[in-house]
């Protein structure tokens, strides 16, 4: 079977590039080189001019990184007629800053939400703002407010969202946001880190750009830092590539290779993350020491219907508030034996984080509390362990609370 265009997403994740010559490396090699050589100056000039295909310098492009970019573009646009393109970056945050700087200029504005990953809010407030780009953060689930804001501020050229959001797991109606953005001549971009294309395909809902912290579920093993910007059309590549290349926010072959390895098991990992998280969310919801559980798969989740419409499963992330607030939340985290207190997510093992004192430490308290990131909120990135072991650990940890 040679037709790689008709494979399912699960198979494409596993499959390496097609065999082009006998004896070629079965696993993608790591091209650890900063630059590339030419037989003569004429070839060098032709490549520099863009008259001939070829590599110049690894800040511009590298064969290992390019293989992963092509794979991500294909996976993200699976079962669509889109000719998508991907640019990898050094981290999720550099994907966001590179993307925004590639699309906007001084005088433009961004419409976004308050409950973004803390680092993203900081980028908009502390970095992007220095370049004359204003950010309006509102409740993006209120479509009347979204439309009124777009109407009031024609300078808004980008609607930027994160769904499900970190760490409150708020879910936005992607199709509605994309439609409204386009009606008011803005582009729509989404951070799809929590779901990945295995659970949610924003391009199918009209989104223009999909961004990732590839450090998380896409890699799955917590051993590399990377980001990705995926555009629905190849014509958008040059503008992003120029910005990436000049800012020097490129990925590197080693991290890209680790991501490539992780991608192979994405579908089986995600199935297990999702089923474990769903069971744990149900367990926590029924527990008398837990006040509130945020998990899009629960009927009680305020946007469960949106999640049901646009996600195939509900993901491996949840957050919850233990009765008693900050002190009880901290005691719970200290009591667990199997879960690690670690400031990342999407790994194969279960991780706990206290947003108020870590990922959202630099977000003003009134802003974070207003969007549900209270002092007692605990975030759990549910791993692929045997779920009964996890529930036993959570249970003993909750029982030990006063
Ligand atoms: C939703 C989301 N987007 C972006 C980022 C930033 O990614 P990175 O740490 O790879 O820069 C994070 C980090 O936790 C995240 O959770």
pLDDT digits (tens, 9 = 90+) for 112-150: 999 999 999 999 999 999 999 999 999 999 999 999 999
User: Rounded CA gap, 230 and 84, in Å?
Assistant: 7
User: Rounded CA gap, 281 and 318, in Å?
Assistant: 7
Q: How confident is the model at residue 361 (pLDDT cuts 50, 70, 90)?
A: confident
- Among the atoms of ligand 1, which is closest to the Cα of residue 214? 10
Mean pLDDT of 267-274: 98
- State yes or no: pLDDT of 325 exceeds 90: no
Ligand 1 mutation target, pool 215, 255, 354, most atoms within 8 A of CB: 215
Nearest to 348 by CA among 276, 241, 248, 247: 276
Nearest-CA residue for atom 16 of ligand 1? 117
Nearest to 197 by CA among 208, 207, 210: 210
User: Rounded CA gap, 208 and 232, in Å?
Assistant: 6
pLDDT digits (tens, 9 = 90+) for 80-113: 999 999 999 999 999 999 999 999 999 999 999 9
Arithmetic mean of pLDDT over the chain: 95
Share above pLDDT 70 across residues of the chain, in percent, rounded to a whole number? 99
| Residues in the ligand 1 pocket, defined by CB under 6 Å | 91-93, 117, 119-120, 162, 166, 191, 193, 213, 215, 225, 227
What does the pLDDT read at residue 110?
98
pLDDT digits (tens, 9 = 90+) for 59-80: 999 999 999 999 999 999 999 9
User: Rounded CA gap, 68 and 261, in Å?
Assistant: 10
Q: How confident is the model at residue 371 (pLDDT cuts 50, 70, 90)?
A: confident
Mean pLDDT of 38-66: 95
What does the pLDDT read at residue 3?
58
- Among the atoms of ligand 1, which is closest to the Cα of residue 166? 1
DSSP 226: -
Instruction: Output 74 or 364, whichever has higher pLDDT.
Output: 74
What does the pLDDT read at residue 363?
81
In order of their start, the domains of the chain are: 8-17+26-263 (3.40.640.10), 266-399 (3.90.1150.10)
Nearest to 348 by CA among 244, 270, 279, 280: 270
Query: What tokens does 242 get?
Result: 């120029």
Mean pLDDT of 282-310: 97
Nearest-CA residue for atom 14 of ligand 1? 344
pTM of the model: 0.97
- State yes or no: pLDDT of 5 exceeds 70: no
User: Rounded CA gap, 234 and 26, in Å?
Assistant: 28
Instruction: Output 261 or 20, whichever has higher pLDDT.
Output: 261
Mean pLDDT of 175-201: 98
What does the pLDDT read at residue 18?
76
234 contacts: CB under 8 Å, gap ≥ 6 = 83, 84, 85
Nearest-CA residue for atom 8 of ligand 1? 92
What does the pLDDT read at residue 368?
83
What does the pLDDT read at residue 128?
97
Q: Report the separation in Å between the CA atom of 107 and the middle of ligand 1, taken as the mean of its atom positions.
A: 27
- State yes or no: pLDDT of 2 exceeds 60: no
The Cβ of residue 18 has, within 10 Å, a number of other Cβ atoms equal to: 8
User: Rounded CA gap, 215 and 217, in Å?
Assistant: 7
φ and ψ at 16, to 5 degrees?
Answer: -85, 180
Ligand 1 mutation target, pool 115, 216, 226, 318, most atoms within 8 A of CB: 216
């Amino acid at each position: 079977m040679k037709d790689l265009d008709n494979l399912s997403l699960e198979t494409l994740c596993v499959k390496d590039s097609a065999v082009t010559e006998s004896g070629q490396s079965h696993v993608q090699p790591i091209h650890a080189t900063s630059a590339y050589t030419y037989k003569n100056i004429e070839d060098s000039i032709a490549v520099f001019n863009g008259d001939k295909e070829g590599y110049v310098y690894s800040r511009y492009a590298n064969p290992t990184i390019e293989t992963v970019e092509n794979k991500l573009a294909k996976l993200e646009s699976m079962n669509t007629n889109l000719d998508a393109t991907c640019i990898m970056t050094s981290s999720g945050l550099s994907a966001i800053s590179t993307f925004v700087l590639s699309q906007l200029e001084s005088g433009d504005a961004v419409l976004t939400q308050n409950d973004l990953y803390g680092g993203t809010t900081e980028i908009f407030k502390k970095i992007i703002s220095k370049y004359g780009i204003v950010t309006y953060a509102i409740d993006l689930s209120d479509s009347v407010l979204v439309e009124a804001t777009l109407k009031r501020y024609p300078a808004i050229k980008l609607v930027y969202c994160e769904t499900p959001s970190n760490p409150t797991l708020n879910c936005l109606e992607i199709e509605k946001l994309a439609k409204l953005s386009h009606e008011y001549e803005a582009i729509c971009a989404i951070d799809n880190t929590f779901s990945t294309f295995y659970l949610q395909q924003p391009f199918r809902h009209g989104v223009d750009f999909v961004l990732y912290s590839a450090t998380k579920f896409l890699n799955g093993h917590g051993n590399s830092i990377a980001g990705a910007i995926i555009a629905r059309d190849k014509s958008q590549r040059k503008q992003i590539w120029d910005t990436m290349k000049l800012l020097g926010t490129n990925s590197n072959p080693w991290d890209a290779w680790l991501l490539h390895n992780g991608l192979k098991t994405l579908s089986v990992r995600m199935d297990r993350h999702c089923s474990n998280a769903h069971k744990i969310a149900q367990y926590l919801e029924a527990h008398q020491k837990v006040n509130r559980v945020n998990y899009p798969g629960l009927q009680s989740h305020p946007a469960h219907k949106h999640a049901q419409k646009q996600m195939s499963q509900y993901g491996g992330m949840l957050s919850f508030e233990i009765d008693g607030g900050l002190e009880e939340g901290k005691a719970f985290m200290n009591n667990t034996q199997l879960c690690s207190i670690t400031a990342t997510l999407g790994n194969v093992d279960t991780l706990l984080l206290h947003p108020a004192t870590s990922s959202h430490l630099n977000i003003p308290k009134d802003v974070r509390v207003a969007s549900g990131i209270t002092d007692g909120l605990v975030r759990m990135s549910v791993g692929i362990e045997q779920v009964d072991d996890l529930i036993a650990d959570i249970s003993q940890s909750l029982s030990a609370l006063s």
